């Protein structure tokens, strides 16, 4: 297992961070929190190589302003209540990249740079359920956009524990698919693994299932554990970069509520 920097985390970190933030936030009664976790993740979606790395856990709200995980890193934005249980908002933030040297299969390809993103979301949260649709667009030309669909359910809780389960799927436009799963002819010629050129079409690229357990240590501190599985679908599944069609991901962390 490799150690990596947070800026090289694969996009599956978005689902992991969202699951952790949602569960910990609910467990802390809606209070703001900050914390740190350690995650085990594939080097990139579809890689057979894994790495361990630190993950910042931040959730903050003051009026309509918020800071929370988006695109794998904390982002800031504004949100408003549309109706009972309905919330919508817009955000700006940063998205994670991938170095060609991160894995044997990507050596010789171009790096995917750390880059800005912007987007919007709508969330419906009736009782223990939460359904969210979010779109994020890369601010860097050619990197494309991604649509996220996520559902979570607070399955069980007592005074000190809360267990949530969820599912998510991601749709990417042509540029987004090409950035992460495509191989241009020039990249194929440079590839250390002799990859074939590949140009995926827009479409759904992954489906994930995950569970989160949040345990209240005291009035301010909580421990959070997440375990999930992410499966590539469509053209992403057929990419020559895909070594393993299904990856697991996990995280343990501690948050401080204030």
Write the pLDDT tens digit of every residue in 197-236.
999 999 999 999 999 998 999 989 999 899 999 999 999 9
Per-residue pLDDT at 187: 95
For the cut 90, the answer to whether the pLDDT of residue 176 exceeds it is: yes
Q: Burial of 80 by CB count in 10 Å (0-12 exposed, 13-18 middle, 19+ buried)?
A: exposed
Mean pLDDT over residues 148-156, rounded? 91
Question: What is the bridge-based pairing of β-strands 203-216 and 161-172?
Answer: antiparallel
Residue 30 confidence class, pLDDT cut points 50, 70, 90: low
What's the structural domain count of the chain?
1
Integer Cα distance of 19 and 225 in angstroms = 10
Locate tokens 């802390």: which residue? 28
Highest mean pLDDT among 36-45, 122-131, 175-184: 175-184
Task: Write out the residue range of the structural domain in which residue 201 sits.
Answer: 2-257
Integer Cα distance of 196 and 238 in angstroms = 12
One DSSP character per residue, 216-229 reads E-SSSEEEEEEEEE
Q: Where are the beta strands (DSSP E) in 43-114?
A: 50-62, 65-70, 73-83, 86-95
* CATH number of the domain to which 203 belongs: 2.40.160.40
Q: What is the pLDDT of residues 54-112, one digit of tens each?
A: 888 888 889 999 998 765 667 899 999 999 999 999 999 988 888 999 899 999 999 99
């Amino acid at each position: 297992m490799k150690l990596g920097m947070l800026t090289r985390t694969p996009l599956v970190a978005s689902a992991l961070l969202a699951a952790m933030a949602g569960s910990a936030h609910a467990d802390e009664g809606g209070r703001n929190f900050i914390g740190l976790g350690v995650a085990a993740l594939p080097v990139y979606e579809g890689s057979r190589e894994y790495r361990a790395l630190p993950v910042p856990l931040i959730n903050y709200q003051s009026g309509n302003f918020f800071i929370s995980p988006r695109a794998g890193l904390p982002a800031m934005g504004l949100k408003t209540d549309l109706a009972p249980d309905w919330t919508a908002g817009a955000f700006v933030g940063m998205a994670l990249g991938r170095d060609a040297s991160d894995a044997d299969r990507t050596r010789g390809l171009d790096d995917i740079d750390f880059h800005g993103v912007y987007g919007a979301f709508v969330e419906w949260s009736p009782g223990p359920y939460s359904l969210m649709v979010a779109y994020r667009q890369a601010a860097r030309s050619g990197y494309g956009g991604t649509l996220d669909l996520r559902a979570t359910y607070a399955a069980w809780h007592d005074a000190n524990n809360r267990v949530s389960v969820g599912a998510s799927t991601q749709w990417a436009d042509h540029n987004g698919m090409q950035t992460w799963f495509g191989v241009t002819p020039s990249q194929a010629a440079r590839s250390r693994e002799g990859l074939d050129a590949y140009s995926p079409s827009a479409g759904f690229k992954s489906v994930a299932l995950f569970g989160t357990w949040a345990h209240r240590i005291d009035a301010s501190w909580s421990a959070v554990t997440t375990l999930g599985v992410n499966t590539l679908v469509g053209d992403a599944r057929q990419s020559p970069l895909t070594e393993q069609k299904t990856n697991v991901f996990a995280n343990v962390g501690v948050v401080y509520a204030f």
